């Protein structure tokens, strides 16, 4: 058996890596980073632990992380158990009065609390809320044909600032309150974009299950402008399920977010790779 006990040189190398991280940590100290964790990017318990650990690390080095989650596959699973089949129109779930109850229970209950617990288990302090809490996200009906699907029309992120003041990490379910007491189901990307814009976030990281935006030859493009995205969409290079993500990115940038990154949340340490290495991850969109 080879001796794997770390040598003095190994410890020096570890200390050197930590030291080299200082300017990188300084770059995002004080930055607000909104992270959208999609249901498809939520993997095994081990992957969730790793994600949570990265979020806690960011918080420790001065980032203000704000998590907005999805959970589409988990909602499908619960609806299936009840024998309900959902229809999607342009990526949005047609949500009737019974469905919205399941959506709220699954997102605010199961999915949100799983993330909260994972962050807390790594030594962070997370709190699970939805767009209803502190009137964070007020919505209007998107389209009568979609039922209780909402479009955010007013965000009140002041409460999130008070959480940041106490180093508490918000984990937000994309559920909105209507002005007449309704509960609205909001697409997770849309909710993350609206909250990031209200916070004038430095970064919006959209963690999904694709490597990023691809050009006509199928290569992932590492950086592009909103104009390039509009052109690629007009040319049909960006299509299908990517369009809601790129639209979210464009709206967020119009709303004051400095940059949006679409990246593969299944890659280990995706958020750290993006923020703290020159390599980056996925596709960065900024003017």
Residues that bind ligand X2W (CB under 6 A): 38-40, 70-72, 75, 92-93, 103, 149, 174, 185-188
- 250: CB partners within 8 A, 6+ apart: 226, 229, 230, 285
- Angstrom CA distances, 284 to 86, 111, 189, stand at 33, 27, 16
Instruction: Rank residues 186 and 198 by Cβ distance to ligand X2W and give the closer one.
Output: 186
| Closer residue to ligand X2W in complex, CB, 57/204 | 204
* Beta strands 150-155; 175-178: pairing state: unpaired
Least distance in angstroms from the C-beta of 110 to ligand X2W:
12
Query: What's the min distance (Å) between Cβ of 194 and ligand X2W?
Result: 13
Active site residue 189: yes
Known catalytic membership, residue 256: no
Pick the catalytic residue: 54, 189, 202, 251? Answer: 189
Q: Work out the number of other CB atoms within 10 angstroms of the CB of residue 182.
A: 15
- The residue (of 39 and 112) whose beta carbon lies closer to ligand X2W is 39
128, 202, 245, 265: which one is catalytic? 245
Cβ nearer to ligand X2W, comparing 174 with 282 = 174
For the chain, the straight-line distance linking the first and the last C-alpha, in angstroms and rounded, comes to 55
Least CB distance to ligand X2W at residue 116 (A): 17
Active site residue: 38, 39, 131, 150, which one? Answer: 39
Biggest CA pair distance of the chain? 70
Task: Give the C-alpha distances (Å, rounded to integers) separating 105 from 118, 173, 195.
Answer: 19, 10, 21
CB of residue 173 to ligand X2W, shortest distance in Å: 9
Annotate 106-139 with three-state secondary structure: HHHHHHHHHHHHHHHHCCCCEEEEECCHHHCEEE
Q: Which residue is nearest to ligand X2W (CB)?
A: 70
Environment class of 216 (CB within 10 Å of its CB; exposed 0-12, middle 13-18, buried 19+): exposed
72 is catalytic: yes
Q: Which of 38, 70, 72, 265 is catalytic?
A: 72
Query: Which of 64, 95 has the CB closer to ligand X2W?
Result: 95
Q: Which residues are catalytic?
A: 36, 39, 72, 189, 245
């Amino acid at each position: 058996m080879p001796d794997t006990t770390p040598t003095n040189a190994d410890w020096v190398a570890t200390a050197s890596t930590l030291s080299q991280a200082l300017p990188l940590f300084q770059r995002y100290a004080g930055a607000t980073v909104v992270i959208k964790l999609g249901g498809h990017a939520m993997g095994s318990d081990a992957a969730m632990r790793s994600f949570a650990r990265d979020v806690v690390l960011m918080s420790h080095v001065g980032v203000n992380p704000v998590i907005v989650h999805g959970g589409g596959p988990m909602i499908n699973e619960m609806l299936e158990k009840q024998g309900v089949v959902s229809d999607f129109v342009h990526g949005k779930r047609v949500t009737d009065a019974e469905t919205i109850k399941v959506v709220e229970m699954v997102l605010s209950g199961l999915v949100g609390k799983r993330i909260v617990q994972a962050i807390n288990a790594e030594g962070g302090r997370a709190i699970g809320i939805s767009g209803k809490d502190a009137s964070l996200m007020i919505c209007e009906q998107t389209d009568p044909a979609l039922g209780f699907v909402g479009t955010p029309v007013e965000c009140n992120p002041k409460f999130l600032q008070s959480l940041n003041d106490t180093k508490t990490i918000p984990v937000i379910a994309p559920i909105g309150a209507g002005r007449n007491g309704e509960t609205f189901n909001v697409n997770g990307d849309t909710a993350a974009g609206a909250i990031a814009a209200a916070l004038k976030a430095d970064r919006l990281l959209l963690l999904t299950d694709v490597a990023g935006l691809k050009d006509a030859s199928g290569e992932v493009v590492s950086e592009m402008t909103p104009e390039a995205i509009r052109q690629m969409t007009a040319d049909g290079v960006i299509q299908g399920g990517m369009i809601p993500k790129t639209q979210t990115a464009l709206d967020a940038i119009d709303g004051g977010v400095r940059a949006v990154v679409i990246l593969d949340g299944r890659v280990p340490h995706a958020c750290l790779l993006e923020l703290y290495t020159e390599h980056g991850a996925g596709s960065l969109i900024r003017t």
